[in-house]
Amino acid sequence: MNDVARDSSTNQTVTVTDNSTGKSVELPILGGTVGPRAIDVRRLYAETGCFTYDPGFTSTASCESAITYIDGEAGILMHRGYMIEDLAEHSDFMDVCYLLLHGELPKVEEKEAFEHSITYHTMLHEQMNYFYRGFRRDSHPMAIMVGVVGAMSAFYHDSTDISDPHQRMVASHRLIAKMPTIAAMAYKFSIGQPFVYPRNDLNYAENFLNMVFSVPCEEYKISPVLARAMDRIFILHADHEQNASTSTVRISGSSNANPFACIAAGIASLWGPAHGGANEAVLQMLQEIGSKDRIPEFIERAKDRDDPFRLMGFGHRVYKNYDPRAKVMQKSCHEVLGELGVKDPLLGIAMELERIALEDEYFAEKKLFPNVDFYSGIILKAMGFPTSMFTVLFALARTVGWVAQWREMIEDPSQRISRPRQVYNGHTEREYVPLDQR
Ligand code: SDX
């Protein structure tokens, strides 16, 4: 497990007393290096006959992890101790991938070797192309991603033995390397253009842009500004602790399912509009608002408990402060639109919406701030991506986080198959009623 010094002084305990029986049980408190401590409840059921109850796991630590730390109150996000703002400013996505997987920023030769491995795994098995023909042209690209990534299990058998560290490493590199190729092919398929093969002379972000936007008929000039913005967007989406899709990957992996199936499960979970699908939903919301003068109407709807409408790109299960990724994303938004000379009225609506919402006591009281999805869609739209590809890009970037968390779980000696329990509120035993007597 993590070799960073832990605060071993937390050999503290809590005592839980069942007041109906007077029986007490003393439980240890688990302390990490920073952040909330956890009551270790593993003996609770055996000693009290009671489960804990925590729908949505809002107060439950599902694992120990050394990869990402979030302080939701302060709006802090760190990967292996490095602040996301520093990584977004000074690192590139390959740096961050290596950091998430290995725990340290790579030295020059380590980065060269890692980047070479990723570059030389970007091609897909040629036969996987045929999967795309099985989809309708108007399929949502996330549906294609779930299908094709899951199907990798049928092609890369030599990296599905999760007990073999070498195979875990190969599967990790294959997933990180091939996700841009699969994503770009999903886009090309949807617009009826030919697939573009990866190029080994381009870096990760450049290669992805080339596979998405180039056509065989002419040379595609890769804008360094767009490539840097793409790389930064990948960094901002790389990992985020035990969110819904990462927990899905961990739970799938706890049954020793192969890594490709686990990542496909993560993609499926991320698709939801309450999670990674929010970036697509933000654009649709801004387009529905249409003009600044309609913002108050939508703010009121978001505050109306009887109206299911929510301000997409606002609020977060953990952040009760500004999502630090949103700040970097907003800065990139201005850079990219400025560089491209794009005057998108949606950006003006988004900024006015943010200003009004942040001054509104409802949002202040519920601590609802813009999250990572609020500005990302505007940049991606300016870069030429259709809204249906926004969550695909989120999945592409999050693959390294899912893989790093999956490997940490597999390599954690205390990990067991995930099997939550329940509070049963159905029928107690009753006599069977034959059909002719019902
Ligand atoms: C991501 O977990 C992660 O880390 C996820 C993620 C990652 O990187 O993996 O950060 C990526 O998923 C970002 C979140 C993207 N989703 C959205 O932008 C969708 C809109 N946001 C909401 O659906 C909501 O804020 C959630 C789902 C993100 C969080 O929901 P919670 O923590 O369960 O909060 P809640 O639903 O309990 O809301 C608390 C209160 C409620 O009001 P009351 O019932 O207390 O009266 O705040 C209200 C909610 O109605 N509220 C909102 C709101 N979000 C919460 N009201 C209006 N607009 C919103 N966006």
Would 44 be classed as within a structural domain? yes
Would 240 be classed as within a structural domain? no
What average pLDDT does the chain have?
94
Would 218 be classed as within a structural domain? no
Per-residue pLDDT at 1 exceeds 80: no
Res. 4 pLDDT band, cuts 50 70 90: very low
Q: How many CB atoms lie within 10 A of CB 432?
A: 5
The reply to whether ligand 1 has any atom less than 6 angstroms from the CB of 310 is yes
- Token pair recorded at residue 336: 């990219």
- What percent of the chain stands above pLDDT 90? 90
Per-residue pLDDT at 91 exceeds 90: yes
Amino acid identity, residue 65? S
Residue 318 Cα, ligand 1 centroid: separation in angstroms? 9
Give the model's pLDDT for residue 344. Answer: 87
Q: What order of strands is seen across the sheet that includes strand 82-83?
A: 68-71, 76-79, 82-83
- How many domains, in total, are found in the chain? 1
Would 160 be classed as within a structural domain? no
Average pLDDT, integer, range 145-150: 98
Report the nearest-CA residue for atom 3 of ligand 1: 243
Q: How far apart are CA 360 and CA 34, in angstroms?
A: 33
The reply to whether ligand 1 has any atom less than 6 angstroms from the CB of 238 is no
Domain that holds residue 43: 3-61
Average pLDDT, integer, range 40-60: 96
Would 29 be classed as within a structural domain? yes
The reply to whether ligand 1 has any atom less than 6 angstroms from the CB of 275 is yes
- What percent of the chain stands above pLDDT 70? 98
In CATH, what number is assigned to the domain containing residue 7? 2.20.28.60
Closest-lying ligand 1 atom to the alpha carbon of residue 282: 18
Average pLDDT, integer, range 203-224: 97
The reply to whether ligand 1 has any atom less than 6 angstroms from the CB of 274 is yes
Res. 2 pLDDT band, cuts 50 70 90: very low
Residue 317 Cα, ligand 1 centroid: separation in angstroms? 6
Q: Are 44 and 15 a contacting pair, CB within 8 Å? A: no
Report the nearest-CA residue for atom 36 of ligand 1: 317
Per-residue pLDDT at 221 exceeds 60: yes
Query: Known catalytic residues?
Result: 316, 373
Report the nearest-CA residue for atom 46 of ligand 1: 305
pLDDT (tens digit per residue) in 256-281: 999 999 999 999 999 999 999 899 89
Q: What sign has the CA pseudo-torsion 407, 117, 372, 346?
A: negative
Would 352 be classed as within a structural domain? no
Per-residue pLDDT at 3 exceeds 60: no
Give the model's pLDDT for residue 342. Answer: 85
Res. 10 pLDDT band, cuts 50 70 90: low
Helix H or strand E encompassing 60: none
The reply to whether ligand 1 has any atom less than 6 angstroms from the CB of 240 is yes
Per-residue pLDDT at 9 exceeds 80: no
The reply to whether ligand 1 has any atom less than 6 angstroms from the CB of 305 is yes
Would 51 be classed as within a structural domain? yes
- Token pair recorded at residue 56: 């949505």
Average pLDDT, integer, range 64-86: 97
Would 57 be classed as within a structural domain? yes
Taking the model in full, what pTM does it have?
A: 0.93
Average pLDDT, integer, range 327-346: 89
pLDDT (tens digit per residue) in 300-328: 999 999 999 999 999 999 999 999 999 99
The residue to mutate among 316, 396, 399, 402, having the most atoms of ligand 1 within 8 angstroms of its beta carbon, is 316
Res. 88 pLDDT band, cuts 50 70 90: very high
